[in-house]
Amino acid sequence: MVVILLIEPPLEDDAERNTDLTVLRLDSVRIGCRVRKFKYLKDYGHEFTIRAGRPNGTKTELTKIIEGWGDYFFYGFADEQEKELARWILGDLKVLRLYISRLIALKGKALDGIIKNNHDNSSSFIVFRYADIPGFVIASKDG
């Protein structure tokens, strides 16, 4: 669903910017989200993980991102009391897709990298470092 509003612009826009009407448009924005426990912040605060494999074959977040789903990715770490966020980033998934595409094109094979498994082996995650993906982080809060 797309919401479009037509409004009268401020007088300054009318007088100085050749604007008689302003169209406000709101499209859906899809944001993936992952929040980790505080205990992981010290060792892993410079990177983020995305689910890349499931033994049962369920489609993963990485597959969905590569397929073009999602606009942004919110990734954070809880504070010690797990009531607020100690650190977070908002990443642009278009930038991540381009980064992944370039890696695959350069290597001529599937994406590889550091893979980590859940403690129960119910899924695996690929690790990305913020420093390796210029332009990915568009907003952040450091704790």
Tens-digit pLDDT profile for residues 72-82: 999 999 999 99
Tally the domains of the chain: 1
Residue 17 has pLDDT above 90, yes or no: no
13 within domain boundaries: no
Integer Cα distance of 32 and 59 in angstroms: 15
Q: Three-class SS of residue 22?
A: strand
135 within domain boundaries: yes
Residue 112 has pLDDT above 70, yes or no: no
- What's the confidence (pLDDT) of residue 128? 94
Q: Is the CB of residue 135 less than 8 Å from the CB of residue 95?
A: yes
1 within domain boundaries: no
Instruction: Let me know if 24 is exposed, middle or buried by CB neighbors in 10 A (0-12, 13-18, 19+).
Output: exposed
Average pLDDT of span 79-95: 96
Average pLDDT of span 105-114: 72
9 within domain boundaries: no
Average pLDDT of span 19-40: 88
97 within domain boundaries: yes
11 within domain boundaries: no
Q: Residue 105 sits in which domain range?
A: 30-141
Nearest to 71 by CA among 4, 127, 138: 138
Residue 3 has pLDDT above 90, yes or no: no
Give the C-alpha distances (Å, rounded to integers) separating 76 from 1, 86, 99, 138.
Answer: 29, 8, 21, 14
- What's the confidence (pLDDT) of residue 90? 95
User: Would you place residue 22 in the very low, low, confident or very high pLDDT band (cuts 50, 70, 90)?
Assistant: confident
